[in-house]
Amino acid sequence: MHGTTVITNRHAVRWRIATAAVGALTAAAVAQDIKPPEAAQQHAKPPLPAAKAAGALPNGPVIVKVKPDPLVIQQQQPWGGQLAQAPLTPAPEVVRLWAPETVASVRLSNHDLSAVAELDAKEFARREAASARLGLSSVPAEVIFAILARGELSVEQCERLLAIAQDKVLALPRGALGLRMQPSGDPRNPGVEVLLLLPGMPAERVLKIGDRIERIDDRPLATSSDLVEIVQSKMPGDHVRLSIARQQRDERGKPKLDPAGGFIDDRMEFDVALTTAVDLDRFEDQLASPVRSVVLERRLLALREAEARFSPRTVKIKSPPPAPIVPKKRPSDAGAARDPLTPDD
C-alpha cells in the first residue's frame, strides 16, 4: 500500500510539472501571437470531465461537442486578410544617403580623396590600408556615397567603396523605445497593447502596461512590426509622437465601464526621444527577435539598389565565331611514301 501511494504521488508531481510547463509555454505563445508547440499540446494533461453526481467518477471518456459561434470566430480573427505581409521596400534612411541634396552637402577632405586614390594602388597592402582608413567610424557613410556619386572610379576603387558602404549601413544606429507588445485583437479599438516595459528605456517613462498605442507619428498601427519598423528606421535621439488610449480605473484598480459595458479610455499623446537599439541586447531574453530583422532586411534592399546604381558597368564583347574545323585527309595506300627501312615485297 505504501508503494502504491508513492507511485501515485510521483505521477501527480509529474502531471503538475508538465501542466505548469505547458501553461508557461502557452502564456509565452499568446504574448507573442504564436501557437504553443505541438509537442507541448501532446503532453498536456487532458481536462477531467465533470462528474455526474457529487463524489462520482465517470466510467469512461465523455465526449462534449461544442458548436462554434460564428460571431466569436469573427471576433477572434478581427483583421481577416488585412494582415497579409506587404512587400518590403528599401530603407528610406539609407536611400537618402545618396540623394542629390545629401551628396551636394558633403564636403570631401584631402585626406579622404588621398585614401580613395590609394584604393587603386599596385601594392595590395596599400589598398588594404586605404580601405581601413575609409572604414573608420570617423568617416560617415554620406562621404562614401558622395565619392561613389562623383564617378570616375576604377573597378577596384568602386568595389572597395561599395564594401565599405555596406559595412557602414549595416552598422547604422537604430532607434528603440524599450517595450514588448501585441496587437489589440479588437477591430473597434485597433493598435498594439503594451505587455512589458523595459527598465531604464524611454517607454517606461511615459507608458503603462495595458496602454494601447493607436498611432505613431500619426501613422495607424495594426501589428507590432509596424511600430518596430517605424522606430528602428529612425536614429537614436530622434523624437516620435505616440498616440495612446489608457483605460480609466477606479480606486481599486479595476477598469471603469460606460453604461453600455465598454471600457472608458483616456486619449493621450507623448513626445518621446528614442534611445539606441544596442540597449535592447541587455533584454534579449525578453524580446521577440524576428520582427527586429525587418529593418535590416530593408537596409539590405537599399544596398542592392546602391550596388545597381554605382557598380561599374560591364561591357559585353562579342568574340568572333570560331573557325570551322576541317578534318585532315589521310593519304591513300597507293600514293603513300614507302618507308625506306621496309624491305621490298
pLDDT surpassing 70 at residue 116: yes
Instruction: State whether residue 177 is helix, strand or coil.
Output: coil
pLDDT digits (tens, 9 = 90+) for 255-302: 888 888 888 889 999 999 999 988 887 887 766 554 446 788 888 999
Domain borders along the chain are: 1-45, 92-170, 175-289
CB 77 within 8 A of CB 62: no
| 191-209 average pLDDT score | 94
pLDDT at res. 214: 95
Rounded-to-integer distance, Cα 229 and Cα 296, Å: 10
C-beta atoms surrounding 229 within 10 Å: 17
Q: Tell me if residue 215 falls in helix, strand or coil.
A: strand
- pLDDT, mean of residues 84-111: 86
Closest CA to 13 of 45, 59, 56, 51: 45
Torsion-angle region of 55 (φ positive above 0: left; ψ -120 to 50: alpha; else: beta): left
pLDDT computed for residue 66 by the predictor: 45
65 pLDDT above the threshold of 60: no
**Taking 60 as the threshold, does the pLDDT of residue 59 lie above it?**
no
Report pLDDT digits (tens) over 126-137: 999 999 999 999
Residues 6+ apart with CB under 8 A from 253: none
pLDDT mean across residues, the chain: 76
- Residue 274 is placed in which grid cell? 528614442
The whole-number pLDDT of residue 324 equals 78
Q: Which residue has the higher pLDDT, 186 or 57?
A: 186
What 8-state DSSP symbol labels residue 183?
E
Q: How much is the pLDDT for 69?
A: 47
| Highest-scoring range by mean pLDDT, 16-25, 162-171, 288-297 | 162-171
CATH of 175-289, one of 2.30.42.10, 2.60.120.10, 3.40.630.30, 3.40.50.2300: 2.30.42.10
Predicted confidence at residue 97, as pLDDT, reads 93
- What is the percent of the chain with per-residue pLDDT over 70, rounded to a whole number? 67
Instruction: Answer with the residue of higher pLDDT: 295 or 11.
Output: 295
Average pLDDT of span 97-110? 94
| Mean per-residue pLDDT, 311-327 | 74
Strands 219-220 and 179-183: unpaired
14, 19, 59 from 48: Cα distances, Å: 17, 13, 12
